[in-house]
Chains A and B, each alone.
Chain A
């Protein structure tokens, strides 16, 4: 069986713009959520907090490529460039048919949509519209733009499934390598900061509205006093590679992907199903040929909504009981939507390589309706070999990834 390892990482998040910065922020228990003053001007938007990416030079992307990218694709491009450099992939390898992409986002460029649609609709005319608007806002804008910028000529799988966009990207990449369609897959996802994304959750009463004065207290996954999620932005890319291929070129190895499951609740459009969540974790364990007792840390999706956290706690408890350490890192940075799966996967790699099991920020008392799972309220330093990352999206789409520490034979 072909084994799949991670050989490159790039990310841009509210907690930093690299693997090391993310580690430092988690270690120092930093929070990347802040008050967004300009959202005060939007009528009917209750949430005023978000996590944003800072200190990233998007203008460094050559205009030739940047012209068809909204912020979402630009963030993904910067993360991907970092991951490629980190993995030391040659252009010859990247442009071979054995290297592909799997990348997604919830939305295309939101801001472009807001510039383009009203003008066309108001005038019922396309006069004066440039040719780039559609390319910035189409659903697969991230995957399409990355492919042209990095000259990827293998498979290109856009995985646009809202909050599972990037975890499905990693899963699709893992399966592509494992089953021999590719030797290298560059995988991930992204989301850009925009009031449209925040508004979507706000109108469903799922966004946090009570802590504009103390933004760091906004996101409280699993806690009884939580009042909803914080919509943030971020992007990440990881390079997946077949083990022998990676060893042959002397690549650095961050860890191994050993299990993946994806499935759908096939029930309610937004209300998550405990059964669906449990099933996907079981599928991932089966794929990895592991028992639940083999998992030593779980990075939960837990966004701090009432229903999501409860369902996830019950699904997790049904398989893992009350001992396995669980944390949601959305207390630190909010919910990166299309970017969360990949950044949380990187947090799992930090757990494997740096023995850091991050706490759930702002977690004090488990909601009484949650099942009794072991939610970490403090950072734990512990060597772990096998960890799981779970994500769930609107539409009942579920993913579960299992990562294992890589040891030289």
Chain B
């Protein structure tokens, strides 16, 4: 749970700082495309930023099914190596 909070807060700060999303629009359920008005290029750049900041390796071709912030959260957590 702690890890999920940490990742969620990181995603939230990236969305606010880099993508100028309003804090009040960010929630686990928020849809990146319909609620936050991002597009596929933004989604790639979001993952690239998380990749850089969290030191994990994300393969963008595996992002196809991501829609909500919760999806992003779960995807990032699953990308963090287990032995860390």
Contacts and interface: CB of A to CB of B under 8 A. Distances in A.
Interface residues of B, number: 12
Interface string A395-409: 000000000000000
A131 B41 contact: yes
B39 to A, nearest CB: 8
Main secondary structure on A side of the interface with B: loop
Given A64-B37, A67-B42, A130 B49 contact: yes
A131 B37 contact: no
B70 interface: no
A129 B48 contact: yes
B40 to A, nearest CB: 9
Contacts of B49: 130
A270 B57 CA distance: 47
B44 A130 contact: yes
A67 B20 CA distance: 10
A134 to B, nearest CB: 11
A123 to B, nearest CB: 12
B3 interface: no
A378 to B, nearest CB: 49
A3 B20 CA distance: 45
A132 interface: yes
Interface string B35-60: 00100011011001101100001000
A78 to B, nearest CB: 18
A43 interface: no
A132 B45 contact: yes
A130 B52 CA distance: 10
A130 B51 contact: no
Nearest to B42: A67
A115 B30 CA distance: 32
A249 interface: no
B19 interface: yes
A128 interface: yes
Interface string A67-96: 100000000000000000000000000000
Interface string A127-152: 11111100000000000000000000
A37 interface: no
Contacts of B57: 127
Contacts of B42: 67
A128 B37 contact: no
Contacts of B52: 128
Given A64-B37, A67-B42, A128 B19 contact: no
A128 B20 contact: no
Interface in A18-63: 63
Contacts of B19: 63
A229 to B, nearest CB: 38
Contacts of A129: 48
B51 A128 contact: yes
A131 B20 contact: no
18 contacts: A63-B19, A63-B20, A64-B37, A67-B42, A127-B51, A127-B57, A128-B48, A128-B51, A128-B52, A130-B44, A130-B45, A130-B48, A130-B49, A131-B41, A131-B45, A131-B48, A132-B41, A132-B45
Q: What 3 A-B pairs are tightest by C-beta distance, nearest first?
A: A130-B45, A63-B20, A131-B41
Given A63-B19, A67-B42, A132-B41, 15 more contacts: A64-B37, A127-B51, A127-B57, A128-B48, A128-B51, A128-B52, A129-B48, A130-B44, A130-B45, A130-B48, A130-B49, A131-B41, A131-B45, A131-B48, A132-B45
